[in-house]
Amino acid sequence: MEVVWRNLRFKYVLICIFVTFIVSCLISMSPISNDDRKYDLGTSSRDRSDVKSSINALRIRRKSKHRLAILVPFRDRFEELLKFAPHMRKFLDKQYLDYHIFILNQVDKFRFNRASLINVGFLEVKNDYDYVAMHDVDLLPTNDELSYSFPDKGPFHVSSPELHPRYHYPTFVGGILLVKREHFMKVDGMSNKYWGWGLEDDEFYVRLKEAGLNITRPQNISTGTHNSFKHIHDRNHRKRDMTKCYNQREVTRKRDRQTGLHNVSYKLEDTIEMKISDTSVTVLNIALICDKSITPWCECNKMDTSKDAKAKEKKKDQK
């Protein structure tokens, strides 16, 4: 009896092993692997690698010590923004940075004021971020050697004159500049006197120098002025506002000791969270306020009293 029982038990164990073997063979031969299931749900292989790199980036972000706010002065450059946002996500995710993009959208009727927008952006983010990138919307870095890491020692000029497609003078600090919070505050941010195109970055250079800050730039980069950045600016469609009225020309050639971060005047009308092809951005709708007793050139109209306008009028009269 004992022998029969043992035999039966042995057979039972053998059958179990056999069934388990067959079932695992069937599972491994099945055409629906994990990845294929994802594909069935409509995820392409390119999307999958994007998802993977985003997850990786998120993981590293949690560990990174410093938070970067990308501050993008902006008005009416929608087609450029559509390219900028996804490009920057792909570019910066490779550097495993903890960053967020802020679009500083000027919604008032005054002339464009890049520097004041950056001041406003800084004030709005400074409690949550350790450093800012003052970043043109139309300048896309294309060489992965260009680092956006924390500029502890001093401002880091990513789009250096040796690499920028258009501006090559040695004191140029426009385009893309990384500045840590303490340094931006030390120089009282940027001047608020620059309405229209140009010179606000040159004035900022003087602020940095006067504060004794050492500006550094990318070194040993394998690319040059033609292939480090894409400047996606259509200059026929997006004309630069170079008009000068009242005494704008004289005033904006000098270092401004009156205005800066401490007295930028604005109203934050809206904060809008949006996604541009999988890239999260925050749009700040900013209405700048112009004190016409200090900067009447925030609006240049036909009735202005500048030398330029008077000269033009004279010419017309002579014709």
User: Which stretch of DSSP H or E encloses residue 266?
Assistant: strand 266-276
- Write the DSSP symbol of residue 286: E
Q: What residue has token string 């299931």?
A: 37
268: β partners: 286
Query: Residue 117: what residue type?
Result: L
57 versus 70: smaller Cβ distance to ligand UDP: 70
Report the C-alpha gap between 84 and 305 in whole angstroms. Answer: 39
Long-range CB pairs of 271-278, under 8 A, 24+ apart, other chains included: 276/81, 276/82, 276/85, 276/86, 277/82, 277/85, 277/86, 278/50, 278/54, 278/86, 278/89
| CB-closest chain residue to ligand UDP | 136
Whether residue 88 contacts residue 101, with contact meaning beta carbons closer than 8 Å, is answered with yes
Give min distance, CB of 166 to ligand UDP, in A.
6
Question: Residue 84 interacts with ligand UDP (CB under 6 A)?
Answer: no
Quick check: 188 and 126 in contact, CB under 8 A?
Answer: no
Q: How far is the CB of 67 from Mn ion (least distance, A)?
A: 27
Residues 6, 12, 18, CA angle at the centre, nearest 5°? 140
Q: What are residue 101's DSSP bridge partners?
A: 70, 281
Binding window for Mn ion (CB under 5 A); candidates: 109-117, 120-128, 138-146, 218-226: 138-146
Tell me, residue by residue from 92 to 131, as one string, x for binding to ligand UDP by CB under 6 A and - for no binding.
--------------------x-x-----------------
User: Crossing angle for the helix pair 45-63 and 78-93, nearest 10 degrees?
Assistant: 70
225 to 264: interface string for ligand UDP, x by CB under 6 A: --------x------x------------------------
CB nearer ligand UDP, residue 76 or residue 79: 76
Total number of residues that touch ligand UDP (CB under 6 A): 15
Q: How far is the CB of 317 from Mn ion (least distance, A)?
A: 37
Tokens at 297, concatenated = 């050139």
Structure tokens at 33: 């692997």
For ligand UDP, the binding residue among 57, 71, 74, 266 (CB under 6 A) is 74
Number of residues that bind Mn ion (CB under 5 A): 2
Judged by beta carbon, residue 62 or residue 237, the one nearer ligand UDP is 237
Site membership for ligand UDP, residue 38 (CB under 6 A)? no
What is the helix (H) or strand (E) element at residue 106, kind and residue range?
Answer: strand 98-106
* Residue 138 binds to ligand UDP (criterion: CB under 6 A): yes
Q: Which is nearer to ligand UDP, 57 or 184 (CB)?
A: 184
User: Which of the ranges 3-11, 91-99, 134-142, 216-224 carries the binding residues for ligand UDP, by CB under 6 A?
Assistant: 134-142
Q: What is the largest CA-CA distance in the chain?
A: 131
Check binding of 233 to Mn ion (CB under 5 A).
Answer: yes
Report in angstroms how near the CB of residue 166 gets to Mn ion at its nearest.
8
In the complex, the residues that contact Mn ion under the rule CB under 5 A are 138, 233
The residues binding ligand UDP (CB under 6 A) are: 72-77, 112, 114, 136-138, 174, 197, 233, 240
